[in-house]
Copies of this chain bind each other. A is one copy, B any other.
Amino acid sequence: MSGHKSKADGTAPPRHADIARDLRDAIAAGSLPVGSVLPTELELCAHYGVSRHTVRIAIADLADGGLVTRRKRLGTVVQAAQPTRSYRQTVASVDDLVRYGADHVRSVHRAGLVTASPALAKDLSCPAGTQWFRVSSLRYDRLTGDVPLGLTDVYVDPVHAEVGDLARRSPDRLISSFVAERTGQRIARIKQDVTAVLIDRRLSSLLIAEAGSPALRIVRHYLDDSGALIVGSVSVHPASRFHMSSSLERVGPG
């Protein structure tokens, strides 16, 4: 151990950082390709001449960066070849994501079973003909309240049809959170797709907006840990009343 006291000159990194960097380089260089299993903790201890504690800290760093995942018996599996995280957008909740605040309220317009048309099937990445329970709601600003900010269709498995009533009774809460509660599933990932559309004649009367005027159309998939779709949603917001703001900050080294 006395050899390691030489780091007392203040210029040497901790051992675990060296090991993490070594492993990170090996992954990036392809010698530990995506899908491969890292040497076991004990093998790495032998290889680097360090304690298991030190190896674990190093690997935890890789896991935090999303490069590897760890499973008992199977080992430590490479998930990604690059630490890809240089900018980060953080939101506290799904509410923040959709830019609704405390002054917005939802009004359920209609709810019921629907069969996925080819267009809806494309939105929800499901087979055409799939049955969904749809809750359509208009979103208003609580203070002004006169015209809707947007219309959102939320799609859930028909076994959760009771969320229609729950949504009516709790207009301040998102439907996706009701479903997550009732199923015990956790929303682990949200995929979002934004595009621009023209408001058609059907939406124009609902949204009290001129047909042909521009709107943002946002499709969201709320996914659980295994990647299964828990809830889908399709929102349309007249451009004049709604925009999406976000902020990304740099993390890690430049």
Contacts and interface: CB of A to CB of B under 8 A. Distances in A.
Identical copies in the complex: 2
Interface stretch (A84-92, A125-133, A168-176): A84-92
Interface residues of A, number: 43
B87 A88 contact: no
A214 B197 contact: yes
A92 B85 CA distance: 5
The main secondary structure of chain A at its interface with chain B is strand
Interface string A181-203: 00000111111111111100000
A33 to B, nearest CB: 19
Contact of A189 (B188, B215, B248): B248
Given A82-B92, A84-B90, A97-B87, A250 B194 contact: no
Interface in A232-254: 239, 242-250, 254
A94 interface: yes
Nearest to A84: B92
A191 B246 contact: yes
A40 interface: no
Q: Which of A191, A214, A243, A244 has the most C-beta atoms of chain B within 10 angstroms of its own C-beta?
A: A214
A213 B198 contact: yes
A197 to B, nearest CB: 5
A87 B94 contact: yes
Contact of A87 (B93, B193, B216, B248): B93
Contacts of A188: 249-250
Interface of A: 64, 82, 84-94, 97, 186-198, 212-216, 239, 242-250, 254
